[in-house]
Structures are given as structure tokens and as C-alpha cells.
Amino acid sequence: MPTPAPIHEPHKVKTIRAIAFPSIDARKRNLAAAEFNVFNLTPAQVGFDMVSYGCGAMTQEQLAGQLIGDEAYAGSRNFITLNEVVTRVLGHTYVCPTHNSLGAVKLLLHAFAKHGQTLPSNARGRVDLHAPRGIELVDARDHGDAVFTGNFDLARLTASVQSSRPPFIGVQAFADGQHPISLANLRASRQIADQHGLRLVLDVSRVVENAWFIQRHEPGMADRSIADIVKQFSKTAHVILMDGAQDARANTGGFLATDNPADHEHFINDIVVYEGLHTYGGMAGRTMEVMARGIEEMCQESGVQWLMQQTERFTARLREAGVPLERGCDGAYLRADQFLPQVKEHPAHALACALYQSSGVRALVQGLVGHDALLPLQIPRFALSNRQLDQIADAVIALYRQRELVPALDRVHADDWHDALRFRGVFADLATFDFDCEPWMIHTLEPIALTTREQRERAIREAGWNTFLLRSDEVMIDLLTDSGTTAMSTTQWAAYDAALPTPATSDAYLDFAAAVREAYGYEHVLPTHQGRAAEQILSEVMITPGQIVPGNMYFTTTKVHQEYAGGEFVDVIVDEAHDPTSHFRWKGNIDLAKVDAIVREHGAGKIAYISFELSVNLAGGQPVSMDNLREVYAYTRKHGIAVMFDATRAVENAYMIQSFDPRYANTHVKDILREIMLYGDGATVSGKKDFLINIGGLLTYKDNAEWARKSEAKLRIYEGGVRDGGLPAADLAAMAQGIREMTDDRYIRARVEQARRLADRLKAVGVPVVEPTGSHAVFVDARRFLAHLDQEQFPAQRLAGEIYLESGVRVMERGIVSAGRDHDGNNYHPALELVRLTLSRRVYTDDHLDEVANGIIRVWQRRERITGLRFTYEPKDLRFFQGRFEPLPAGA
Ligand code: P71
């Protein structure tokens, strides 16, 4: 049985690179400036750049390899590593590195071929490289096989070999990106080569995709691993060459390899003339390392299955809509001539321009002029989600439906090469396609653990049924928290690397302060290492012992610091917040009547400040309305009471206002956030959420210099310097950039809507979740899910464990265990008994979350058989972190 298609990526996102979504006006301007040749557009002018070469996502291991390049001129460590890896994975002993595959072809032809010779091959693409050298390619492809369209016609190959005495036989795995060759046919070609004393030279740049076709379609190969097939396949040739920017997902690099020391000798003698030296070839040491790691990883079964699933899905979606295309190993190759029959000259260019104009998607026409029928839409390996791919296909389909509007281009400069053509064009009235998806491509990824049920049974038992005590490498999809789990952007990393360290005032601090002032409009900016540190300082500065702190539902760390400072927290959130079934839109609101009652009873002077959380976490990520913000501020100003925000998830709250308050539907999140912050006097922020960073926090005051001065005094003692709060300049720099990214309308929409889609899938089958869906998480109501359990049997804790057992997904209990015990030692019985499925920012795709939903639905179907838990170890404080449990026997 072939490995089943994977249900989600076998990795999560580690770093992202932002996508530009140029407006239609910008796209027209760019096309005109590019002289209607999309080759002249830059990635910054493009939405989705559908080219795979050198554009795949690396793994974090490859990224790390980039930093351990040994840049010695001779005998570098990275070369030794590359040689070992090539031998292990591809089965050839002698490796000659080159700067890319062109370097390899150069050495190969110089070593073996002469001007005027002919060369039988299964690929046409190499014509581009051979023709200018006076070497003629003979197409020996068997056009008959339905699957292995890259197979040789063996009779034709033999005839060609006998009549023209070629320098060698050229084979490409997945010829021209479209035509896989079977292992049997490759072996037969090898025999023909041997019989005629010729070398079989194999380009393995896309060997992995070819191996998948062999596994899937060649008789007797279904049980063989991709790694096994890849090795057999490449060992079949006398010489292999590879481009590092394809399957190995380096940004460049290549090599030739062989088992024949005499051939190797040839190559390395020429290499000093053309490429570099035999131990670096014309590559940086780091490139050799990245490529070596890529080759090591490229055969990993689940990754290959994911890659090919994407191509199949993308192609199928286009096919179903009737779009004329040919399958590619890495995407769909549009038949431009059939797509635009009315365009006789350069239809691929006309199609590329129309696609860019209507959607911002770029597909590239490459190579020698004369082959203009195909327009490849290649999927950069691992860089896009299925959601994005589906929409890219839909953009093409939308264009297909208005194809008769697409005009021909007027060529003003002819050339041999597509990249040099220049055109004049007109803009047809094409309807535009708008994307609603993640506004980033994946830059690097991190493999996720794949566990079996037996492994998980052991893991949850050893963790005492507490998901906090599971190890990350036992977890497949981690929805424990959105705190500090963000994927940073390449822009953030650039700022991180470039930051100049100092214990004094850093440029990074000044930039951070400027970003905070711009985002919130507050003057005084104090960095802290994370949110609770800011809460401690704020509480100590603002609370006189004995004062009351009214707030919209408690948060654990916030409340603890208010109490440590001598304050008493009083909950003033609207009643609806405590009812998981209420659909009230603004469940984060403060009930002003409750505040007024406190003021009437104790006087305004008894109130330290209003603790006003945005997107109230423990209520289910529920937003505060703009009206409530205004009303609370008007009231407090009248009574001389300060309002201090917990702005940890303020951006999400701003997005909810944009979504659900019609007056703000056309206001940018950035401007909504500024208005929110107007209705307060200061804020604490756990930067690990909104700020898109892994560590950091903020204490900020609108204009009160006295509070700022007092806070600085505490900052020096508790945290670090007044300008760093204990954070390195690098983290401050990343945080400054994160603050600029956090209010991007597309980003925040993609984030919050992901939660809504997950909740909707659960609700569709009746799984009880907190209504309405919040912004950072979906909260499953364990009380209704396990309705047969008493709250004292810890239903949410048990449900969290069951969800892990079922699917390897880690979630967090937010119920009776988290609430702890009162002074008399009795459990608090909070109204909400929930498990939280928290969504990290920019880390998981919809496909991951679909699997989360599937797992929970499977638990839902067997819910009646699930028993409760009892403590085996209960710590005194914050017991949810360290407590341990065991399941109650059935019938207890
Ligand atoms: C969350 C966290 C992290 C957490 C905290 C305590 C127990 C378990 C997990 C932290 C917040 C937060 C709000 C609204 C302040 C903090 C503390 N949330 N305010 O939701 O949500 O910030 O973690 O940076 O110190 O998993 P800090």
C-alpha cells in the first residue's frame, strides 16, 4: 500500500516572509514599467510568485546550517559533509561541487562533448544550454506512456546512439518539470549506454518528485520508501548532476557526482578554470551546508507526500474548472495557446500579464523563444498553505472565465530569450481577484513530532494527565498557548541580527519606543521581560494597600500582582461573560453599574484604577466594544479614576470592532487601536501575544510623568535597565518590527478568522464551544461536553488529556483546576469549565486545524465512556502548572 496522503503538513511554520499585495493601480503601473514582460517584476511587486526554483522553504536545520559555513578556500568541512551526504543518499562516491547546475553542465560538456555532436535526451529544456554550444539535442522520448511520459523510446534511443555516436546519453528526472521516467526504463537506458560504451548522465535535481511517481505508479514499487527509490534511481546512472535550488531547497548550488575516479578527475581538473576549486566548486561554504542538509531531508516520506499532495490538489482544482494545462512535477503548466486561442503571438506572455493584472500572481515564461505554449505555475516547495493554493487556483479560474477579454501584446523588441522580450499592451477590463488568506509565505519550517497512540498513552500517564507536563517532542500540534509561540518574520530577524547591543540606550530601544508611540499614542515607554513584570510594577505604583481594583474578569498573573500590592480585585465584567451559551457580541464589556455601585459604597478614592483587559482571555477571548470604552472613560474622568488597559491582545479587539461594529467596517485596525487607547491612561502588555515575538513586555503611560518615574525606579530593581527592561537590544528590535506588523489588516484578519473556522467545524457536529468565537482561541465547554461528570471530577482537565490521546494535540484546562482553592481549602467552582485551543500566530495552517477538529470530534463521539480524574499530587499555589492526576475507574 502506498503511504496515504497526509492530512496536514508534517511541519509547522518557523519564520515567515511577508507578501506584498499590490493594488490594481500599482499592478498596472508595474506592468507598464516592466514593458509587459513579468520577468521584469520584482517579488516586492508580486502577490504570489509561482516559481519553485530557489524559492522553497528551508527547514530550521538548513537555516542553522547557513550560519556554520566554513568559508575556507580549500578543504572545507562543509564539502566533506556534502560528499558524505551525497554518497549516503544518492549512492555516488566522488562529488564535484559547482555553483549551480549550469556549472555542472559546463564541466560535463567540456569534459565529454564536442561542438557539432548530437545528444539523445528525454528532456527538451536542456536545449537552451546545448544549442548555444553547437550541440544538438535529439528527443528520444516515448510519447506513448500515460504516466511515465519521460520514458525513453528504447528503440529510438538505440537507433540514435548507433547512428550518431553521442558523447553520452542525457536523462532528466522529471524531464522539463513535466515528464517522470520509470525506474525500469532508466535501467534499460543504462543497459543501452553500457552496450555502446557510453555514459548515462542523470540530472537528479527533481529526483524526489520522480521517485514519488515510481512509488505510486510503477508495478512492485508501492512498498519501497522514497529514500530507497531515490538511491536506486540515481545509482543507475554513471554520472549524476543536481541543482541545489530544486529538491534540496537551497537558494543555489549544485554538483556532479560519479563512482568513476577517472571522470571525477576530469571534472576537478576543469573546475579550477570554470568554477572554483574541487572542495567548494563556486559555492559559499554555507551553501554547501544548506544543500547537504536539504539532500539529507528531501527523501523524508511525509514531506514528499505533502509536497505531491499539493501539486495534485492544485492541478485537480484547475482541471475541474476546465483550465487547459499539463501536469508539472511542481505545479500546473498552463496551456497558454488553448487558454487564449485568440492570441496568436506569445500567448504565454499575454496570459502572464493578464494573470498579474487581475490577481497579482506571477507565472514566468522562461528560456528560449519559440516554445511559447506553456506557462508554468510552479508551487514553491513547502512555502504555501493549501488555503493559499486553492485561492491561487481560483484566481486562474476567474481569469479563465473572462479569457476572451484578454488582449494580445504588441512586441516592440524581439530576442532569442524570453526574458529580453519587450511589449506594449493595453489593460482589458478584467475583474480582479481578491485574496483572503495568510499574507505571508513560509520561509523556514520546523518538523513536528509524529507520535503513535501507544506513545501518547505513555506520555500522558507520565505527565500525570497534565498537559503542562508533556514534552514538546511528544506533541504534534501545540495549542497550549499563543504566548511567545509566534513565527517571526524575516524582517524581524533582520532587525534582531542587526541590533547593536549595549546596556545603555540602544537604537533598538529608541525604535521600539517610536513604534509604541505610533501604535498606541502613549508617551512613556518602559520595556519589561514579559507581561507579568509590567503588571507587578504597575500594581506597586498605582495601588495603595486596601484599595479596590475593579476589572473585567481576572487574569491569573494580573490578579496575583494586584493582591500582592495590597489591592482587592473586584470583577465588574458584564454578566453575559460568565455564560458560555450567551451570544452577546461584546462579552468583554465592563458593566458600569457594577463600577458605580463600588464608587457609591466606598467613594472614588478607594479605587486604585480600572483594570481594563481587551479581548478578555478567560472569558473566551471576548472583545470590548468601542462604546463601552468611551462610556467607561467618560465615567472615570468624571470621578478622577485612572483606566489601565491590559492591552496584551488589543489588536485582536480592534479587529473585532472592525468586523462587528459597522461604523468601523472601513477603518484600518491601526486607527481603531489608536482610538481604543485614547480611552485609557496607561497599559501593560504581554508582548508575547500581539507583538509577534517570543519574549518581551511593555509598561506604558499616556502622559503621566510621575507614574513613569516611579515605575522606572522599580524597573531598575526588578527587570534591568530603564531602556531595556532586561531585554537584549536584539529582542527590542524584533519587538519594534513586530509592533509594526501587528496592525496589518490582512494579517490580523487571517489570524482571527482561523479561530472562527475551527469553531465552526466543531459547532457543525454539536461540540459545545463558548459563544461567540473569540479572537485568539476556541474554548470548548467541558461541562457540557462531559455532562455526566461532576465539576469536582475535573472534566476540563480530563478532556484536555483525551484530546491529546486522540490526536497528539495539546490544549489547556481553564476551569476548576486553574481556579484553585479558597481560604477554607474548598475548590472554587468557576462558572466556566473550559479547555482552550489557542492559536499561535502564523504557525499553523487550516489543514493542521482541520485535524485538530477531527480529533476532537472523535473524542466527542465516545464522550460517554470518559471518566473523571482525581489528584495524585496537588501543589498549594497555581496548581494547574504542576498538579498530577489519575483517571477514575469506570462507574466511579
Ligand atoms: C496565556 C498566557 C500565558 C500564561 C500565563 C499564566 C498561566 C498560563 C499561561 C498571559 C497573559 C495574558 C493576559 C491577558 C497578562 C499575561 C501575562 N497569558 N495578561 O494566555 O493572557 O503575560 O505571560 O507575558 O507574563 O497562555 P506574560
Residue environment code for 277-307, b if the CB has 16+ CB neighbours within 10 A, otherwise e: bbbbbbbbbbbbbbbbbbbbbbbbebbbbbb
Give distance in angstroms: CA of 689 to centre of ligand 1: 9
Q: Spell out where 422-514 has E strands.
A: 422-424, 440-447, 477-478, 488-489
Which helix (H) or strand (E) element contains residue 144?
none
**What residues contact residue 829 under an 8 Å CB cut-off, 6+ apart?**
791, 816, 819
| Residue owning the nearest CA to atom 5 of ligand 1 | 557
Can you tell me the distance from the alpha carbon of 371 to that of 355, in angstroms, rounded to the nearest whole number? 19
Average pLDDT over residues 717-745: 97
Q: pLDDT tens for residues 854-879?
A: 999 999 999 999 999 999 999 987 89
Ligand 1 atom closest to the CA of 697, numbered from 1 = 24
Average pLDDT over residues 285-311: 97
Q: What is the DSSP letter of 472?
A: G
Give distance in angstroms: CA of 407 to centre of ligand 1: 56
Q: pLDDT tens for residues 26-72?
A: 999 999 999 999 999 999 999 999 999 999 999 999 999 999 999 99
Amino acid residing at 604 = A
Between 4-13, 568-577, 652-661, 718-727, the lowest mean confidence (pLDDT) is in 4-13
Q: What is the pLDDT of residue 870?
A: 97
Average pLDDT over residues 245-259: 97
Q: What is the pLDDT of residue 131?
A: 74
Query: What DSSP letter does each residue of 244-282 carry, written as one string?
Result: TTTTT--SS-EEEEES-HHHHHHHHHHHHHHTS-TTTTT
| Residue owning the nearest CA to atom 2 of ligand 1 | 483
Give distance in angstroms: CA of 557 to centre of ligand 1: 7
Give the model's confidence band at 4: pLDDT under 50 very low, under 70 low, under 90 confident, else very high. low
Question: Looking at the predicted structure, is the pLDDT value of residue 282 above 60?
Answer: yes
Give distance in angstroms: CA of 804 to centre of ligand 1: 22
Q: What is the pLDDT of residue 822?
A: 86
Ligand 1 — pocket residues by CB below 6 A? 481, 483, 530-532, 555-558, 613, 617, 646, 648, 686, 688, 697
Q: pLDDT tens for residues 106-130?
A: 999 999 999 999 999 998 766 567 7
Average pLDDT over residues 495-523: 98
Distance of CA 171 to the CA centre of its chain: 35
Q: pLDDT tens for residues 189-228?
A: 999 999 999 999 999 999 999 999 999 999 999 999 999 9
Give the model's confidence band at 1: pLDDT under 50 very low, under 70 low, under 90 confident, else very high. very low
Ligand 1 atom closest to the CA of 878, numbered from 1 = 7
| Residue owning the nearest CA to atom 26 of ligand 1 | 481
User: How many CB atoms lie under 10 A from the CB of residue 494?
Assistant: 13
Radius of gyration of the chain from Cα atoms?
A: 31
Question: Looking at the predicted structure, is the pLDDT value of residue 476 above 50?
Answer: yes
Give distance in angstroms: CA of 575 to centre of ligand 1: 23
Give the model's confidence band at 483: pLDDT under 50 very low, under 70 low, under 90 confident, else very high. very high
Question: Can you give the three-state secondary structure of 564-615, one letter per residue?
Answer: HCCCEEEECECHHHHCCCCCCCCCCCECHHHHHHHHHHHCHHHECCEEEECC
From 486, 554, 557, mutation site for ligand 1 pocket: most ligand atoms within 8 A of C-beta: 557
| Residue owning the nearest CA to atom 13 of ligand 1 | 648
Phi-psi region of 494 (alpha: psi -120 to 50; beta: other; left: phi over 0): alpha
- C-beta of residue 464 within 8 angstroms of C-beta of residue 884: yes
Give CA separation, 120 vs 144, 168, 185, in Å: 18, 8, 15
Phi and psi at residue 30, in whole multiples of 5°? -65, -40
Question: Looking at the predicted structure, is the pLDDT value of residue 452 above 80?
Answer: yes
From 485, 648, 838, mutation site for ligand 1 pocket: most ligand atoms within 8 A of C-beta: 648
Q: pLDDT tens for residues 454-469?
A: 999 999 999 999 999 9
How is the chain split among helix, strand and coil, in percent rounded to 5? 45, 15, 40
Give distance in angstroms: CA of 555 to centre of ligand 1: 8
Ligand 1 atom closest to the CA of 532, numbered from 1 = 25
Between 132-141, 234-243, 644-653, the lowest mean confidence (pLDDT) is in 132-141
Above pLDDT 70, what percent of the chain? 99
